[in-house]
Chain A
Amino acid sequence: GIQVEQSPPDLILQEGANSTLRCNFSDSVNNLQWFHQNPWGQLINLFYIPSGTKQNGRLSATTVATERYSLLYISSSQTTDSGVYFCAVRGGTSYGKLTFGQGTILTVHP
């Protein structure tokens, strides 16, 4: 099945810093989503982005499907950005199944 690899596994920032999270995947996809799991365990949909670029406030994401990667940018980070960021993909032949990466644990210090 499709493989999903996220980097870095851990990231520690000071409030106000910018960061880039990366997601590599091993096959063509027709669905790619970025999620934030907050300290309370909720999975928050950040972006649905199988290709192209999207922005939402301080967050933006870019997926280059032909090169099989996606990037999540966080600008002017805040302590509330802390948590785990997951990339999840559905391969072209994966009927319904979303495969998750192992996540990036982000800690933002005040």
Chain B
Amino acid sequence: DTAVSQTPKYLVTQMGNDKSIKCEQNLGHDTMYWYKQDSKKFLKIMFSYNNKELIINETVPNRFSPKSPDKAHLNLHINSLELGDSAVYFCASSQDPVSYNSPLHFGNGTRLTVT
């Protein structure tokens, strides 16, 4: 009964390929997020969707395209992968984006390695 689950756990691919990471939450939350953790462990937000609508789009190359088919799912598609895309990608969810009592819950991460 994992709250936020993402697949795959590990992804190894070559430069130039296109890949997707999937995320699902069963918490009934309205808001979902993608965060990227770099090699120095720094975590930074990439995107956020609230009720299937994009609300946060940080400075991310347009090779990254999030898609939210419904409130419980947020997928991340990456085109033309580059070496610098190697990182751990975390999905998260919260009840909403603004309320005082709305903590984030994170998935276990997807370690992407581009060779």
- Scan residues 61-91 of chain B and give those whose CB is less than 8 A from a CB of chain A: 88, 90
Residue in B50, B102, B109 whose CB lies within 8 Å of A41: B109
The DSSP consensus for interface residues of chain A is strand
Query: Does B108 belong to the interface (CB within 8 Å)?
Result: yes
Query: Does B15 belong to the interface (CB within 8 Å)?
Result: no
Among residues of A, the one whose C-beta sits closest to the C-beta of B109 is A41
Nearest-neighbour CB distance to chain B for A73, whole angstroms, equals: 20
Query: Does B103 belong to the interface (CB within 8 Å)?
Result: yes
* Residue contact B100 to A45, C-beta cutoff 8 Å: no
Q: Bound state CA distance, A81 and B31, in angstroms?
A: 30
Return chain A residues, CB-CB under 8 Å to B55: 95-96
B interface, CB within 8 angstroms of A: 31, 33, 40-45, 48, 50, 55-56, 88, 90, 92, 94, 97-106, 108-109, 111
A interface, CB within 8 angstroms of B: 30-31, 33, 35, 37, 41-43, 45, 48, 50, 84, 86, 88, 95-100, 102-103
